[in-house]
Structure 1
Amino acid sequence: MQQSRLISGSGDRGVPREAREGARGRRARRRALRTTRRIALPLPWLAAVAAAFTLTQLALVVPGLGLGWDETVYVSQVSHQAPAAFFSAPRARGITFLVAPVAALTTSIGALRVYLALLSGAGLFAALWVWRRLLPAPVLAVAGALFASLWVTLFYGPQVMPNLWVAYGVLAATGCFLRAVRDPGDRWALAGLGAGVALAALMRPTDAVWLVLPLAGAALIVRRHRIRPRLRLLLLAVLAAGLALGCAEWVIEAYVRYGGLFARLERASEIQGRLGWYFAVDDHVRALGGRTLCRPCDVQWKHPVTALWFLALPLLVAGGVWAAARTRHRAAVVLATVVGSALAAPYLFTVGYAAPRFLLPAYALLALPVAYGLVRFCVACGLVRLSRIRRGWRPAVLTLVAGAVAVHLAIQYRVLEGVAGRVRADTADYARVAADLRAQGVRPPCVVTGTEAIRVAFRTGCASRQPSGHDASVTPDELAAMGLREPVAVLVSGDRDAPGYARGWRPHSLPDLGRVTGYRAYLSPAAFP
C-alpha cells in the first residue's frame, strides 16, 4: 500500500488507476502533439537559419572586403566609377543585373556587400521555403545550416558572383517541380519552376542546362499514374520556357558580339581551357583548403582536414537516400540527389581546373538528403523527442554529434578567415597602387593595361584594355596613340620588360601586390604628376 501511494502520489487518492493512467496518457499525447506542431512550423526554423547566415556574413566577411577580379568585371558594367571592363564569352550578365540598383547609385563597396548579404539571406530563406510541403521543417533547417556554414557559401554570399544565385534557382526549381507533380492544381509551383530555371539561366546558362536535363528526364520517365500526359507536357513546356527566357540575353549577345551562338560557345570553351574529359575531383579537394581558383591545380595538398566533409559527402547522401527509401519523402530526397549530382558532374569531369564556388548549386541540393539522414539518425537515437528514447545511447551520441558539428564549424571558420584575410590584404595593396598612380597623373580619362590591370584600373577610375590574351580589345599601336592624348599606364612585374611601344615612357615603381613583386608602371607622355 505504501509503495502504491508513493507511485500514485497523494493528489491521486481515490481515483481509479485506469482513470489516472488515461488522464496522464491524454496529457502526454497533448504535450507531444504541441511539441510536434511547434517543430513542424517551418517559418521560425528557416528564418533563424537565414538570419544567422546573414549576420555571419556581416560580421566575418563584409568588413574591408574589396572587389575581386571577376567582381570588378561584373560591377564595372553598371558602375560610374570607371568604364566597363572587357566582358568575355563565358560570362553572363545576370549578377550584373542583380547588383545594378546599388552599383549604379553608389561606388561604395561596403554598401554593395551589405546589400548582397541581406539579399543572400533572403534568397536562402525563399529557396528553402519552397520545400516546406515536401520535407519536415527540421530537415530543411539542418540542410540550410549545413549549406550556409560552408566557408564557400559564406564567402560568396556578399560577393558579386553568380554561383550562389544559381544554387538558389536550382533549389527553388527542383522543389517547385516536385510540388507541381504532387498537386497539378498548384499554379504557384509551375510559376516557381519557370522562375527558378530562368534565374539559373540568367546567372549561368550552362548550369541551367544541367538543371533542366534531369528535371525533364524525371517528367518523362515518372509513371503515368503519377504524372498525367497533360501535366507532363506542361512541365516540359515550363522548363523550356524558363530556360529560353533566362538564356535570351546571352544568346542575343552571342549573335551581336560573337558571330553566333556556337561561335560564343566555342570561344567560351577556349577561354576555359577547352572543355573535355578531365578528372578534377582531386583539384576540387585541394581547392577546399582556401583557394578561390585552382588553375592549374598542381599545388600540394597541405590541409587534408579541410576536405573531410567533401570526402564524406557521397556516404552521407547515400545514407539520406537509404533513410528516405521507405518513407513518403523518398521522391523529394531522390530527385534532389539526382539533380545535385547532375550539376556537379560537369565541373568534376569536364573542366580542367577547380573553383569551390562552381559546386555551390550541387551542395545546395545535396544538403537535403544529408540533412534527412542526419535528422532521422538523431530521431532514432532519441536526440529529438519524436520517438522512443534510448537513454543508454543518448549521451554518447549527443557528444559525438556536438563534437562533429563543432569541428566542422571550426574548420570552416579557419578557412574562411584565411581567404577573407588574403582578400582584405589585396584590397589594401590595390588601394595603395591606385593612389600612387593618381599621384603620378593617371587620372580619368585614362587607360591601364598589363599585369592586374582590371582591378587597378577600376580603382583608379580608368579603362582597362589589353592588347593580347582572352581580353584582347586594343592593339599596341592604338595604345601608343592613346598615350599621346590621355594618361596610359602599362603595368609590368618581375623581370619583364616594357612592351615596345612603351619603352620610351616614364618608369615608376609601385607597391608590390602580394606575390606580384617588382611591380612598376610605364607612364605615357600625357601623364604628369
Structure 2
Amino acid sequence: MAPQPRPHHLLLGVCGAFAVLSLVLVPLTLPLGWDETVYASRFSPYAPATPFSAPRTRGVPFLIAPVAAWSDSVVLLRVWLTLLATTALYAGFRPWLRFLGRPSAAAVAAALYGGLWFVLFYAGAAMPNHYTAMGAVGAVGLFLRSRQSPVACAGVVGGLALATLMRPNDGVALGAPLLAATLLVPDWRSWSRVLAVLGGLAAGVLPWIVEAYVRFGGVRARLTEASEVQGELRPLLSVVHHFTVMDGPLLCRPCDGDTVRPLSAEWWLVLPLLVTVGLWSARAGSGGTRGGGRRTRAASPDTRSGGRRTRSSGDRGTPHTARDARREHQGGPPQSGTTTLRGCLLATVAALSVALPYLALVPYAAPRFLAPAHALLAPVAALGVLALVDAVRASRRPRIGFAALGLALAGHLAVQLPLAHGNAKIQAGARGDWARVAEVLHEHGAGGKPSTHETPRNGAPPPCVLRGNTSVIPVAYVAGCFPGRAGDARRPTALVMREAEPPPWARSWPRHRVPDTYAPGWVVHVRP
C-alpha cells in the first residue's frame, strides 16, 4: 500500500494550487483598482499621492513597500503579493495541523477558504482582507494550543497584530471573544494568553491611534470622520446586501436593484451545513473517532506520521519516541474531543463576532469584508467534510457516496472559478475606462501625462482638479490630477460624468464623449 501523504505536505500542496489558480484566473497585468491606487500612491514610483481617508490604515502600504518603494511595475507588485498571500495562507492554517485531531483537516480548511472566488481574486491585490483573515485564523489556532509556549504566544501576538494593523475593527472584534474565552474556560485561563491577546491588539492598533492624533485630532474625531466617509455607520440589517454580492460586484454601494444568480448561493447554503456537521463531529469526539463513534487506533491515515504509529488522542502516558516528545513540547498532542469542540465553538463565535459589524452596521457590502469570518469557519467546516467522508466510507455503497461528493466538489469549483475569472475580466474593462477618460482629458488640455506616475516638480500639486459623479479618485490618479471633493473651494479643471448631466454652472462647458469604453456613458466637460 502506498504511503499516505503527510498532512504538512497536503497543506503545502493546497497553498501551491491556490497560487497557481489565482495566477491563471486573474491576470498579473490587471490595472490597479481604486483602493490599490490609494495604497500604492504612498510611494514615489506611484505618485501623485491620492487622499488617504480616515477609514484607511497603513497596513497595506507596509505589505507592498518592498516593491512599491522602488518600482512602478504592476506585474512585479502582483507577483510579490501573490507570493505573500500564499505564504499567509500557509501560515494561517499551519497551527491547525495539530489541534483538530485530524491533521488533514488543516489542508481541507485551507482549500475551502482558498477556493472561494473572491479570495482567489484578491490573492495578488494590494488589499487588507486576506491578511486580516490569515492573521485571525492563525492567532486562534495558536491560542487553542494546550501548552502556551513562548513561540505560540508570539504567534498569537503576531497574528492579532497583523489582523489589527490591516483592519482595526476586525482585530478588536476578534480579540473580544478571545479575552472572554480566557475568563470563561478554565483550561484557557492563563496570563500568557491574556497578555498575548492584549499585546497583539496594542501592537496593531497603535499606528492607527498615533495617526488619529496627528492627522485627525484624536481617536473620536477619526472615528466620526470614518463613519461619515462610509455613509454613516448605524444599526441596520445589510444581510441581503451581502447575499447579493456573493457573485459580484466587488463593491455594492448602493446595493439597490442588484440581483444574484441562484447557483452562486451554493456556498452560503453549504457552509452552514458543513459547520453544523463539523460541530456535531467535534462533539462526538471525531478527533479521535471514526464512523459510528467508535474510537480507532492511531494507525488511521490522519494519525500517522511518516507511516509510524503514534498515540491516538485518547491515549495517556509519556511519549514513546523522541519525535513525539518534541511535538508535544511544540504544540501538544492531538486534542481530545471536548477540547476540539471548545476550539470549534470559539472559532465559530469569533467568526460571528468579526462578521456582525458588517452585517449590522455598514450600509454597503463587499464579498471581501467577510473573508475573516470565512477563514475562521473553515477549520470547523473541514471537520464536517471529513465527517461526511467517513460516513461515506462506512456506508454499504461507498462508491456511490464518493461519486456524489465528487460531483458536489466539481459543482462548487464550477461556480467559484468562473466567478473569479469573470470578475477579473469585468475589472479589467472597468479599470481600462479610467485610462481612456484620462486620454480624453489629456487631448483637451486637462490633466497631466496619463499613466506616467511622475511626481510634480518642486512638490507642487497637480496642475488640474477633477470632479465628477463616479470614480473621481482613480480617474484623477491616472490622469495626474487632484481629485476634488464636494465643497472644495477650488474650481475644477474638468468634470467627469457618467450617464449624468453636469451641474448648472458647468453645462456650458465643452463636452467630449469618451469613445470605446467598457461601460457606456462617459463624458468629459472641460472648463473653457
Shift of 1:240: 1.5
Shift of 1:330: 2.0
1:94 matched to 2:34? The reply is no
Deviations 1:306-357 (A, max 9, x none): 0121133223211101101132222332222121121111112222221110
Match of 1:420 among 402, 420, 424: 424
What pairs up with 1:12-411 in 2 under 5 angstroms?
A: 35=3, 38-39=4-5, 41-135=6-100, 136-179=102-145, 182-184=146-148, 186-223=149-186, 226-227=187-188, 232-327=190-285, 328=336, 329-382=340-393, 389-390=394-395, 392-411=396-415
Question: 1:294·1:354 contact (CA, 8 Å) conserved in 2?
Answer: yes
2:472 corresponds to which residue?
A: 453
How far apart, CA to CA, are the structure 1 residues paired with 2:464 and 2:58?
Answer: 24
How far apart, CA to CA, are the structure 2 residues paired with 1:454 and 1:436?
Answer: 16
How far apart, CA to CA, are the structure 2 residues paired with 1:457 and 1:508?
Answer: 17
How far apart, CA to CA, are the structure 2 residues paired with 1:508 and 1:275?
Answer: 38
TM-score computed with the length of structure 1 as normaliser: 0.82
Shift of 1:272: 1.9
Change (3 A) 1:113 1:313: same
Larger radius of gyration: 1
Residue aligned with 2:495, SS: strand
Shift of 1:494: 3.6
1:10 corresponds to which residue?
A: none
Residue aligned with 2:257, SS: coil
Shift of 1:219: 0.8
Shift of 1:403: 0.5
Letter in 2 for 1:127: G
Question: 2:40·2:46 contact (CA, 8 Å) conserved in 1?
Answer: no
Unaligned runs of 5+ in 1: 1-30, 383-388, 480-487, 525-529
How far apart, CA to CA, are the structure 2 residues paired with 1:63 and 1:318?
Answer: 38
Shift of 1:79: 4.2
How far apart, CA to CA, are the structure 2 residues paired with 1:208 and 1:372?
Answer: 25
> Pairwise CA RMSD of aligned residues?
2.1
Shift of 1:361: 0.2
Change (3 A) 1:395 1:89: same
Question: 1:128·1:172 contact (CA, 8 Å) conserved in 2?
Answer: yes
Change (3 A) 1:499 1:44: farther
Single out whichever of 136-145 and 428-437 deviates more from structure 2. Answer: 428-437
Shift of 1:414: 2.2
How far apart, CA to CA, are the structure 1 residues paired with 2:24 and 2:522?
Answer: 35
Shift of 1:72: 1.3
Deviations 1:31-86 (A, max 9, x none): 6xx84xx34x2321111011000011111113431111111111112242322111
How far apart, CA to CA, are the structure 2 residues paired with 1:341 and 1:140?
Answer: 20
Question: 1:319·1:370 contact (CA, 8 Å) conserved in 2?
Answer: yes
1:490 matched to 2:454? The reply is no
Compare relative contact order (CA 8 Å, sep 6+) and give the higher one, 1 or 2. 2
1:16 corresponds to which residue?
A: none
Shift of 1:506: 5.7
Deviations 1:186-213 (A, max 9, x none): 1110000011111011101000000100
Shift of 1:281: 1.6
How far apart, CA to CA, are the structure 2 residues paired with 1:465 and 1:113?
Answer: 26
Match of 1:475 among 474, 481, 489: 489
Change (3 A) 1:237 1:284: same
Residue aligned with 1:492, SS: strand
Question: 2:133·2:375 contact (CA, 8 Å) conserved in 1?
Answer: yes
Question: 2:105·2:383 contact (CA, 8 Å) conserved in 1?
Answer: yes
Question: 1:116·1:158 contact (CA, 8 Å) conserved in 2?
Answer: yes
Question: 2:10·2:107 contact (CA, 8 Å) conserved in 1?
Answer: yes
Change (3 A) 1:523 1:99: farther
Letter in 2 for 1:217: A
How far apart, CA to CA, are the structure 2 residues paired with 1:162 and 1:514?
Answer: 27
Question: 2:255·2:364 contact (CA, 8 Å) conserved in 1?
Answer: yes
Change (3 A) 1:141 1:252: same
How far apart, CA to CA, are the structure 2 residues paired with 1:498 and 1:81?
Answer: 32
Letter in 2 for 1:475: A
Letter in 2 for 1:377: L
Residue aligned with 2:419, SS: helix
Residue aligned with 2:95, SS: helix
Change (3 A) 1:101 1:71: same
Shift of 1:270: 2.0
Shift of 1:150: 0.6
1:27 corresponds to which residue?
A: none
How far apart, CA to CA, are the structure 1 residues paired with 2:87 and 2:519?
Answer: 37
TM-score computed with the length of structure 2 as normaliser: 0.82
1:12 corresponds to which residue?
A: none
2:308 corresponds to which residue?
A: none
Deviations 1:194-249 (A, max 9, x none): 111110111010000001000001111112xx245xxx223222211211111111
Change (3 A) 1:79 1:49: farther
How far apart, CA to CA, are the structure 2 residues paired with 1:195 and 1:248?
Answer: 14
Shift of 1:464: 2.5
Runs of 4+ in 1 over 4 A off after TM superposition: 502-507
Question: 1:513·1:519 contact (CA, 8 Å) conserved in 2?
Answer: no
Deviations 1:17-43 (A, max 9, x none): xxxxxxxxxxxxxx6xx84xx34x232
How far apart, CA to CA, are the structure 2 residues paired with 1:495 and 1:152?
Answer: 31
Question: 2:441·2:524 contact (CA, 8 Å) conserved in 1?
Answer: no
Count of residue pairs the alignment pairs up: 459
Residue aligned with 1:80, SS: helix
Question: 1:84·1:463 contact (CA, 8 Å) conserved in 2?
Answer: no
Letter in 2 for 1:301: T
Shift of 1:495: 4.5
How many percent of aligned residue pairs carry the same amino acid?
Answer: 40
Single out whichever of 332-341 and 246-255 deviates more from structure 2. Answer: 332-341
Residue aligned with 1:298, SS: coil
